[in-house]
Amino acid sequence: MANLTIDADAHPARTQLHVRVAMTAVAAVPSTFPSACRARADGDVRILWIGPERWLLVSDAGSAEALARYCARTLEGVLHHAADNSAAMACARLQGARVRELLAMGSGIDWYGAEVMPGYCARTRFARIPVIVDVLEPQVFELYYDRSHGGYLRRWFEHAAGDPLLAVS
């Protein structure tokens, strides 16, 4: 499977903070927080848009407290709620020449669409479970999912990896 690398728990210690603002306050959110279907890096913090008033902040360097302080600074004056999701969610890293084919096997998104380039982010169902997909590079994707689905997702990846479509060079 040289065309594809799958790490179902790529960042076991990654800090994840779910942030929500009131719908009436969305207009006051600074542009540091990306808009619809976008993700953006701000230093060691990656900010993923996951809904009209929701974002997922992830960091390999900062603690939940550090991310909460980042939110307080960045969203100063904007009423918001931040919750540590680090223990609840895992992150799978998929990369390689056949990554888009693998994603197409498990989701209805058009992974070859013009908008699905680095910086694209979307919530979708993948292999029947809810995920947040972050496109880091043209052939590198990260999927955030509920940690309780880890065993199921690993088995799904193992099964899908045997599909002849993914072996084509």
User: Are 37 and 99 found together in one domain?
Assistant: no
User: Are 44 and 69 found together in one domain?
Assistant: yes
Report the C-alpha gap between 17 and 29 in whole angstroms.
16
Q: Is 51 exposed, middle or buried (0-12, 13-18, 19+ CB in 10 A)?
A: exposed
User: Are 160 and 112 found together in one domain?
Assistant: yes
Instruction: Print the domain residue range for 20.
Output: 15-84
User: Are 111 and 141 found together in one domain?
Assistant: yes
User: Are 114 and 59 found together in one domain?
Assistant: no
> Which H helix or E strand runs over 49?
strand 45-51
pLDDT one-digit tens code per residue, 70-118? 999 999 999 999 999 999 999 999 999 999 999 999 999 999 999 999 9
Side chain identity, residue 121: C
Domain closes at, from 32, 53, 84: 84
pTM over 0.85, yes/no: yes
The alpha carbon torsion through 75, 76, 79, 84 (nearest 10 deg) reads 50
pLDDT one-digit tens code per residue, 147-160? 999 999 999 999 99
